[in-house]
Amino acid sequence: MGGRLLLPSYNLGSPPPIPQIPLKVPSTKIPSYKPMVVPPSDLQAPKGVEAEQTEEQPAPPSLKLPVIDIQLPLPTAEVVMTATYAAVAAVATTTLATPFFDQIKKKLTKFLQGKVNKWKEKRKKKKDSSVS
């Protein structure tokens, strides 16, 4: 045993190429806002500047109830018109849709009652067959 030890060697060749996956650098949209400037609480107009005269709005119409002495405010024309449109649309929709829903309800009730009756008959047959 004085000689050199010979170990077998194998030539495996070069490794197969591994495809590289390109990774994109992540990006995002950072939310931003415009800063709101709040004036100080002791803000006053500079000297020599006069305040603009604003036109006073007329008082809203009201109804006076003489017996209980109360001023009852009346709604504006826009509010009355909006309420009228909404009421007319609701009544028209209900009036037109009711016959359709009644027909659907009758057919659905008849269909479900038929299914219940078939189920009862099957159950009765099952009981009769198990008793005899």
- Please check whether residue 103 lies inside any domain of the structure: yes
pTM: 0.37
Whether residue 122 is contained in a domain is answered as yes
| Structure token pair of residue 63 | 């109804």
For residue 57, tell me if it sits in a domain: no
CA angle centred on 79, ends 76 and 85, rounded to 5° = 140
State the DSSP H helix or E strand holding residue 96, giving kind and residue range, or none if neither.
helix 77-131
Which residue range(s) make up the domain with 107? Answer: 70-131
Task: Report the C-alpha gap between 114 and 122 in whole angstroms.
Answer: 12
pLDDT tens-place values along the chain, 132 residues long: 567 888 888 888 898 899 888 888 889 888 888 888 888 888 888 888 887 777 777 777 888 888 888 888 888 889 999 999 999 999 999 999 999 999 999 999 999 999 999 999 999 888 888 776
What is the domain count for the chain? Answer: 1
